[in-house]
């Protein structure tokens, strides 16, 4: 999370751990996860945090969550939650 908005690639993580990327992938597989699933979850957590905790624009939330633009965040958010970020936020406020 410290690396957001620039989530490091698997190769950089492997280098930090002094491992080959294939070894990192294998070890993650033993845990039942993939690297992209971890980065996806980090981005999801960040996006939801910024939606809850701030009055940032959608573009700024997208950037801080590791997306290149707001439309990428919106597509991912729909995949994660079945709704757009703004509808999600409205539903939280009315609940």
**Longest alpha-carbon distance in the chain:** 49
pLDDT for 2 equals: 47
| 21-55 confidence digits (pLDDT tens) | 999 999 999 999 999 999 899 999 999 999 888 78
Confidence of residue 71 (pLDDT cuts 50, 70, 90): very high
The mean per-residue pLDDT over the stretch 12-17 comes to 93
* 80: DSSP letter: H
The mean per-residue pLDDT over the stretch 62-67 comes to 90
> What is d(CA 12, CA 42) in angstroms, rounded to the nearest whole number?
17
Contact at 8 Å (CB) between 58 and 85? yes
Contact at 8 Å (CB) between 35 and 25? yes
pLDDT for 27 equals: 96
């Amino acid at each position: 999370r410290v690396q957001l908005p620039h989530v490091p690639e698997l190769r950089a993580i492997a280098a930090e751990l002094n491992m080959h990327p294939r070894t990192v992938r294998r070890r993650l597989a033993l845990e039942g996860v993939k690297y992209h699933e971890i980065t996806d979850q980090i981005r999801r957590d960040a996006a939801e945090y910024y939606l809850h905790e701030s009055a940032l624009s959608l573009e700024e939330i997208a950037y801080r969550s590791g997306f290149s633009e707001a439309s990428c965040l919106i597509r991912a958010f729909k995949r994660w939650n079945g709704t757009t970020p703004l509808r999600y936020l409205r539903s939280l406020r009315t609940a």
